[in-house]
Amino acid sequence: MARLTPAPAGPAAGRSRTSRPRVWRGAVLALAGLYFLVPLAASVVFTVDVPGRGMSVDAYRQIVGAQGFAPSLLLSLELAVATIAVVLLLMVPAMVALRLGAPRLRPVVEVVCSLPLVVPPIAFTAGLVTVLRWGPDHLAATPFYQTFMALQNPSFPIVLVLAYTVMALPFVYRALDAGLRAIDVRTLIEAARSCGAGRTQALLRAVLPNLRGALLNSAFLTLALVLGEFTVAQLLGFRPFAVWIVSVSGSQAQLSVAVSVLSLVVTWVLLVALAALGGRRTPSRTDSRSATA
């Protein structure tokens, strides 16, 4: 009677099991790289290939001196900084309070923060336009009239900050929720309170340093959203960076593509820098003691 040979055990079996997933990972990463890099390479070739003149980088040299480039970029950066400050000041205390005092309300808050993904930007902007038109018509004799005018100031449209804050809620919520799940917030707060710290001081000195990666991810996602958002700003009649790129593309196609490529590269560099900064960990006393031991 024939005997069944047992399956190989030990390191050889482990290598055979993990070799296939590694091959598939490489294939998936290669396909993803082609999917993203081929259009980018085609865009770069379009910006440097001048018919009849060969290769030239004039499109990139014209970016700094292009009309409207600096004001639109500066406006987008100002809107991004204001949006990051507002959304973090709104979400960080709310998420910490939700985790400490009302964990049963987490599904409700998650649904509310996910609504901007369901509502189309055009419908969202139509609602904003309706409110902005209703205000001056019905509040012209009240002090709130100046508030509505200040919200639509072209030099710094606060209404865009409010709109971008709502649009950034899903991304900020996910990033902060992942960061809060990785730490024990209640233990940190209680330890800080036992040392004599107040609620605000415990949040600033005990919780926020442990949320550095989540805060950086939230800031980066908000920055990318503000720099690339077009629909709301265009329909409301403002001209930040994304709207300027589209307006330039009609007359200077190479310049607009060069600006898009440059902004994409800068975004990737920021992503890598924030990822490296968020993953950097300062050695603690325990680590130093174990290292010396």
280 neighbors 268 (Cβ within 8 angstroms): no
- Note the pLDDT tens digit of each residue in 114-129: 999 998 888 899 888 8
Residue 293 lies in a domain: no
235 neighbors 129 (Cβ within 8 angstroms): yes
Q: What is the pLDDT of residue 56?
A: 77
d(CA 29, CA 35): 10
Q: What is the pTM of this model?
A: 0.77
Residue 202 lies in a domain: yes
Say how many domains are in the chain.
1
Q: For residue 66, which of 238, 240, 252, 228 has the smallest C-alpha distance?
A: 252
Q: What is the pLDDT of residue 164?
A: 95
Mean pLDDT score across all residues of the chain: 80
**pLDDT grade, residue 290 (50/70/90)?**
very low
What is the 3-state composition of the chain as percent helix, strand, coil, each rounded to the nearest 5? 80, 0, 20
Residue 9 lies in a domain: no
**pLDDT grade, residue 166 (50/70/90)?**
very high
Higher-pLDDT residue of 160 and 246 is 160
Residue 49 lies in a domain: no
Hunting for tokens 């009649």 — which residue is that? 237
d(CA 165, CA 163): 5
d(CA 183, CA 276): 20
- Say if residue 208's pLDDT is above 90: no
d(CA 44, CA 266): 14
Residue 161 lies in a domain: yes
d(CA 182, CA 185): 9
Residue 211 lies in a domain: yes
Q: What is the pLDDT of residue 213?
A: 84
d(CA 173, CA 50): 45
Please tell me the least confidently modeled range out of 111-115, 144-148, 206-210. Answer: 144-148
SS3 label, residue 123: helix
Q: What is the pLDDT of residue 40?
A: 83
Q: Which residue type sits at 205?
A: R
- Note the pLDDT tens digit of each residue in 219-245: 888 988 998 889 999 998 898 988 888
Q: For residue 168, which of 217, 211, 213, 204 has the smallest C-alpha distance?
A: 217
SS3 label, residue 49: strand
Residue 180 lies in a domain: yes
Residue 129 lies in a domain: yes
CATH of the domain at 128: 1.10.3720.10
d(CA 62, CA 50): 14
Q: 268 is in which domain, residue-wise?
A: 67-279
